Structure 1
Amino acid sequence: MNALRSLFLSVVIILSWGLAPDGYADTRRYAAFVADANSGDVLHSRLADAQRYPASLTKMMTLYLLFEAIEAGELSLSDTLTVSRIAASQQPSNLNLSQGDTITVETAIRALVIKSANDVAVVVAEQLATTERAFAVEMTARARELGLSNTTFRNASGLPNSRQVTTARDMARLTVALRRDFPQYMPYFSERSFTYNGRTYRSHNNLIGRVDGVDGMKTGYIRASGFNIATTAERDGRRLVAVVMGGPTASYRDAHAEQLINAAYRSLENREALIVAVQDLTPRLNPIREHDIIATQIAALDLSPPVAQGDGDALPPLRIEMTDDMGAAPTTTHASVDAEPTLITFPDEPSPPPSGWAIQVGAYADEAAARARLETVQTLAGELGDAEMYTPRFEANGRTLFRARFTGINATTARAACARLAARDEPCFAVAPGS
């Protein structure tokens, strides 16, 4: 355990050193958040849930709804959009469009991503919802469905509005959702420039091409917000999402985001060593439980932030109930064991497990309790209406327990159901076929 503590403390030191906004303490506008988009682990969080103005990060939600419309067949990339008088009157940044002009959907995407054109944001809003006000209502509703619980939109562009607010954590969630749900459109976020009407516009995202692995997403600025950025990066298969809000200048924002990203990758390298150390300390486990056991070892260190386990978008909240001996199951007859005991044996199943994907929502000492849990969860996630309830028995530390699983679903349904349950702070993890 001493080796484990030393390794983990090195991670904390890397995360803590140099991540404060040097020489800048405007906590009315500043916020930062970094997460591992693969595992969901939060790597850095500072004022991440404080209300902030999104500025042009708003356009990520405008683009999300535009991508949905394209996927639904309501629009195509080659369709033309007509500029209204209201759209043409929007303040810069804009394409200087005039009433009656037309632009293609693909040009609109590039104008939103690269130029951050406010007039184009209104063109898209009016196309999809007749008025920008109605579109903002749709934006907020969709934000709630995506788990952006602290975000409210009042316009499609991010121009100043005192009631248009968000948080750094919510903007990270939106960034992850865009990449997860619309990977085919991600190349637009990597483009450095685009040309319209003979004029070339350069991207405001200066981290692309400057910071190793950075490949999107969006910047923003209004006076009330300061300089914002939400960005993604990938190195050696590890994808991060990083958000910095409230920078006093664009150069400061960029430097701070670069600092956070580099420090996060260094911490992940150290965490790889941590995982190896944990595996040396524990017996070989069912892969489904490895993440829980590692988290249990880390929790035992009783460390304070900035590192948080299981507090991201890719994984639901992690709940672990363990007694002092790190292995005994709870003594209550019907207690839930969200994280199963450390030592696992594989029981003789009376029949092969159902095929396809599954999700597990708990493990119980009583089969009736497992069944009751499944019936409750089914009312919380509509995706599970046709799923089969499955309560396989297994032995752990000499006790018989019952897993509460939904089976007979596909990977998409498993992911959607766990995301919905995670939004309700309900434990859930997906189980691949054969696991």
Structure 2
Amino acid sequence: MVSRSVSFVPSPRSGNFLFKILAVVAIATTAFLAESVTAEAEAANPKYAGIVVDAKTGNVLYSENSDRLQYPASLTKMMTLYMVFEALEQGRIRLDTRVPFSAHASAQAPTKLGVKAGNSITVEQGILGLVTLSANDAATALGELLGGSEDRFGQMMTAKAHALGMTRTTYRNANGLPNTAQMTTARDQARLGIALRQHFPQYYAYFSTRSFKFGNRIIRSHNRLVGSVRGVDGIKTGYTRAAGFNLVSSVQVDGKSIVGVVMGGTSTPARDSQMRKLIAAYLPKASTRGGSNLIAEKAPTPAADASVATADVDLPHKGPTPDTRYEVASAAVAYTDSPAQSSENPLVAQQKPEIPAPTKVKTTSFKQASVAVPSPAPAYMPPEQAASDPVDAVTTASVAPQPAAAKRVLSAEQEPSGWVVQIGVSSSRDMAMDLLEKAKSKGGKALRSAKPFAVAYSNGGDQIYRARFGGFDDQREAVNACNALKRTGVKCWASAQ
């Protein structure tokens, strides 16, 4: 077919149309065969590791060297963004918060935005810089904003990874530039990919950004599968010479949802071809039914000593996944991109130097117990942000902390004990109660016995009112009520009084 189409020479009166058809078929066939050969060669690459997980059930549909330690390269920025999204959700920063660039951040190797030391960008510009250009300087600046220093932010990232069940992952920097101690596994990166979409649905859409304007530049995404493969909505590419070409992809099509990871690729085309092959092979095997709380995370216990070595924490090896990510917390604290069935829990990352690599494991459960690990408190909290309590920066994915600088001055009425659901803040009690009345009409039976009330706080001399529902006996009731509100478009969070 290919040779005929290439040698076919139409007469002036005959089939120009037929010639075009044959030429198109030849090109398509050649491309398909080349991609198949490339993907097969990639799977035979000794540095290769891959995994595909059904994001609805947690079943591992495919696994190859998925527990082998590898360098994450710019996949590191997925965790940096997780930390940024969490800070946004908790109200510690906003999308328009300025991110200062230190000399250290500005000196990071390309690719980068090129912001000079002493200048700043917004948090949102930083997010966009990470998901499109994979900007190393922006990642470092965001890490310094949240952690106070790169080293401390690395500790925070590692603690968060372990809390998410990524027990074989260690972070040392925010951008993924070479560091021999910064290691992860394909399985851990799949877990992080699922957690990002599950825990932060209001921010996850950033990962599908294909370009954004920064100054006079139009910055386009390195992720070539977004927009070219049906259903791919992110997540992240990565490359260093030591790591090879890495990619985490999330796919949602026709009620099915998978997350795939390819690590150690030999080139961008080879890596992308392998991911296309995995999506084509395993998306049809994914389930249309299943839960949405696969990655449960406990609120971190604040460390008495912020320098605690998180690598020494004794993590449980297996156990059931809690129903939701909500947990009662006694104290909440606030690489460059370039040219088998088993009853054992497969997410268990055994604390051993080497783990035998499973081969093409199918329908293995992806669930694992969540753990609580020490996490240093952020070193930076802008004073103008500390007392803020954003209306929309919350999801069912976390338990809300009380902003430390917001001082309660009075209760508009007697506060109910137990768990509460907060839906927003307002400048007056009447407006807060109006919000509650509208929300209750949408909440149905989940809010039938809930008591609406407004709590007044002092915010830098101004008085704000938090609109809340109370009267929930336990965590589950509060979470269910919040989920009912979210299904109607009302954002909320649940917390213990």
Q: Say whether residues 1:95 and 2:95 are aligned partners.
A: no
Instruction: Give 1:268 shift.
Output: 3.6
Q: Say whether residues 1:121 and 2:175 are aligned partners.
A: no
The residue number in structure 1 matching 2:315 is none
Change (3 A) 1:411 1:180: farther
The residue number in structure 1 matching 2:174 is 156
The residue matched to 1:23 in structure 2 has which SS? helix
Amino acid at match of 2:110: P
Amino acid at match of 2:40: D
User: Residue 148 of structure 2: which of 116, 123, 130 is its match?
Assistant: 130
TM-score normalized by structure 2?
A: 0.53
Amino acid at match of 1:257: M
Instruction: Give 1:41 shift.
Output: 0.7
Instruction: Give 1:237 shift.
Output: 1.0
Amino acid at match of 1:80: R
Q: Is the 8 A contact 1:19 1:260 kept in 2?
A: no
Distance 2:53 2:63 in 1: 9
Amino acid at match of 1:241: V
The residue matched to 1:93 in structure 2 has which SS? coil
Deviation sequence 1:168-222 (CA, Å, 0-9, x none): 0000000001101100011111110111011011111100111110001000000
User: Residue 108 of structure 1: which of 97, 119, 126 is its match?
Assistant: 126
Instruction: Give 1:24 shift.
Output: 3.8
- Gap runs ≥5 in structure 1: 1-17, 273-294, 297-303, 318-384, 387-406, 415-435
The residue number in structure 2 matching 1:43 is 61
User: Residue 264 of structure 2: which of 230, 246, 249 is its match?
Assistant: 246
Q: Is the 8 A contact 1:32 1:245 kept in 2?
A: yes
Instruction: Give 1:411 shift.
Output: 7.4
Change (3 A) 1:147 1:411: farther
Change (3 A) 1:413 1:170: farther
Change (3 A) 1:411 1:90: farther
Q: Say whether residues 1:309 and 2:363 are aligned partners.
A: yes
User: Residue 243 of structure 2: which of 195, 209, 225 is its match?
Assistant: 225
Q: Say whether residues 1:57 and 2:123 are aligned partners.
A: no
Instruction: Give 1:112 shift.
Output: 0.8
Change (3 A) 1:157 1:50: same
Q: Say whether residues 1:80 and 2:98 are aligned partners.
A: yes
Change (3 A) 1:24 1:233: closer
Comparing both structures, which one devotes a greater share of its residues to helix?
Answer: 1
Change (3 A) 1:124 1:44: same
The residue number in structure 2 matching 1:410 is 476
Runs of at least 4 residues off by over 6 Å: 411-414
The residue matched to 1:35 in structure 2 has which SS? strand
Aligned-pair identity in percent equals: 44
Distance 1:208 1:25 in 2: 22
Change (3 A) 1:411 1:91: farther
Distance 1:19 1:157 in 2: 33
The residue matched to 2:41 in structure 1 has which SS? coil
Instruction: Give 1:51 shift.
Output: 0.5
Distance 2:285 2:72 in 1: 28
Distance 2:364 2:478 in 1: 21
Q: Is the 8 A contact 2:110 2:135 kept in 1?
A: yes
Q: Is the 8 A contact 1:171 1:230 kept in 2?
A: yes
Computed over aligned residues only, the root mean square deviation of the Cα atoms, in angstroms, reads 2.8
Distance 1:179 1:266 in 2: 21
Distance 1:159 1:305 in 2: 30
Task: Give runs of aligned pairs for residues 35-434 of structure 1, distance below 5 A.
Answer: 35-268=53-286, 306-313=360-367, 409-410=475-476
The residue number in structure 1 matching 2:385 is none
Distance 1:252 1:241 in 2: 18
Change (3 A) 1:47 1:254: same
Number of aligned pairs? 279
Distance 2:477 2:365 in 1: 22
Distance 1:153 1:305 in 2: 27
- Gap runs ≥5 in structure 2: 1-35, 290-340, 343-357, 371-417, 420-472, 481-497
Distance 1:246 1:138 in 2: 26
Instruction: Give 1:60 shift.
Output: 0.5
Deviation sequence 1:287-339 (CA, Å, 0-9, x none): xxxxxxxx99xxxxxxx9624334214x779xxxxxxxxxxxxxxxxxxxxxx
The residue matched to 2:239 in structure 1 has which SS? strand
The residue matched to 2:75 in structure 1 has which SS? helix
Distance 1:220 1:108 in 2: 17
TM-score normalized by structure 1?
A: 0.60
Q: Is the 8 A contact 2:65 2:359 kept in 1?
A: no
Deviation sequence 1:133-192 (CA, Å, 0-9, x none): 110010000100000011000110000011100000000000001101100011111110
Q: Is the 8 A contact 1:19 1:259 kept in 2?
A: no
